[in-house]
Amino acid sequence: MKQAKKPAAVTQQVVQDEETQVTQGDNDLEYEPAYNEIDKLEQFGINQADIAKLKTSGICTVLAVLMCTKKEMLNIKGITEQKAEKIYEAASKIETMSFQSGMAIFEKRKKIRRITTGSRQFDMLLQGGVESQGITEAFGEFRTGKTQLAHTLCVTAQLPKSSGGGEGKVLYIDTENTFRPERIKQISQRYNLDPEQVLNNIMVGRAFTVDAVGNLIMQAAAAMIEDQFSLMVIDSIMAPYRVDYSGRGELAERQQVLGRMLSKIQKISEQFNIAIFMTNQVMADPGGGMTYAVDPKKPVGGNIMAHASTTRLFLRKGKGEQRVCKIFDSPSIPEGECVFQISEGGIIDATD
C-alpha cells in the first residue's frame, strides 16, 4: 500500500498562535491510510485493465466499489455484468458492508478529525471544529464570512492535530472565482507558516458548470490516493446549478443531479476521513413574511441539500466586522450561536 506524504507546511514549521506554541518534531512519522486501495482487487483475480477503468471513473478504493450501485458500475465503458459481479465479489472479500455494533461505530468515530475555525468561540459551538466524515454547509447572504471561513480552514487544515489542525492538504473547488491566494498568505502569517508551502498544499479547481464540478470531484478521489488530504472546500455548491438548471421546468432534474453529486461527496468524506466544507447561497422565502421569522431567508437546494448536509451553519452580519453563526441543523450539536470576527488573519474571536 502506498503511504501518503505529509504536507510540507505541517512537517517543517513552528505553529504559533496567541497563547500556544507547538514545535512539530513528531510529524515525520509515516501516515498510514485507513482505506484499501483498489489495486488490492488484483489479488482476487481482477485484471489491471479493469481496475484502471474503475480508477478513471473515480472509484479508487475497495470501499468505493461497495458504495457503487450496479447501474453505475455497468455505465463504465468496458465493464460487463459478469465483470461487475466478479468485482463486487472480490471487494467483499477485502471489506464488508454488514451490521456493526454501536460500540464499533463509537470506536470508528474516534478517528474523526476536527479542524479549527480560528475562533475559540466558534470551535466551542461546533464542539471542536469542522469535523471529518461529514459535510458542513455554511449558508448566508453575501459578506457574511462564508468565503473567509473557507480560506481560514484551508490554512488550519494543515496545522498539526495538537493545534486543532487536520495535518493534511486541501482541495478547493471554486465555482464563483472567490479563491484568493493573497488571503491565504495573510492567514498563514498569523500561524507562522510558510505562505508558499501552504499555497502549494492547496489544490484549486475552477468549475464553471455542473459537469465541471463532477469531473473535479472524480479527480479528487484519485488525488487522495496519492497524498494525505484533510479538507475539501466547495465554494459555492449551488452556484452552477442555479445557472445550468433555470426555471421550474428543470427543477426536478436539477435536484436529481444534485442528489447524486452530494452522495459522491459524502462517500469521499467517509472513505478518506476528510472534512467537507461547502458554502451555499440563500433565497428569499416567499412564505417567510407570514411568520415571525426575523430574517425570512432559506438556503438554496431544498430538501436534497438539507438531508445531505451533516451540519448546517447559518451566517449573518453583525456590527462592523463581526458575524453571527447559528447552528441551523446538526445530528449531534445542540442549537446555539456564537459571534466571530473577520480579520486580516482570517476568522478570530469577536472583540468588543
Q: Are 114 and 131 in contact (CB under 8 A)?
A: yes
Choose from 182-186, 248-252, 289-293 the range with maximum mean pLDDT. Answer: 182-186
The alpha-helical segments, DSSP class H, found in 191-209 are 195-200
- Report the mean per-residue pLDDT for the chain: 87
| The pLDDT of residue 13 | 45
pLDDT of residue 30: 40
Burial string for 272-310 (b: 16+ CB within 10 Å, else e) reads: bbbbbbbbbbbeeeeeeeeeeeeeebbbbbeebbeebbb
**Is the pLDDT score of 31 beyond 90?**
no
Instruction: Name the more confident of 248 and 212.
Output: 212
Is the pLDDT at 152 greater than 90, yes or no? Answer: yes
Q: Of residues 28 and 105, which shows the higher confidence score?
A: 105
For the cut 60, the answer to whether the pLDDT of residue 61 exceeds it is: yes
Contacts of 290 (CB under 8 A, 6+ apart): none
Using DSSP bridges, classify how beta strands 134-140 and 311-317 pair: parallel, antiparallel or unpaired: parallel
Q: Would you say residue 285 has pLDDT above 80? A: no
CB 300 within 8 A of CB 308: no
pTM of the model: 0.85
Over residues 199-215, the pLDDT tens digits come to: 999 999 999 999 999 99
Three cell numbers, residue 51: 481496475
**How would residue 275 be classed by pLDDT, with cut points 50, 70 and 90?**
very high
Domains assigned to the chain: 38-94 (1.10.150.20), 108-349 (3.40.50.300)
With beta carbons less than 8 A apart as the criterion, state whether 119 and 172 touch: no
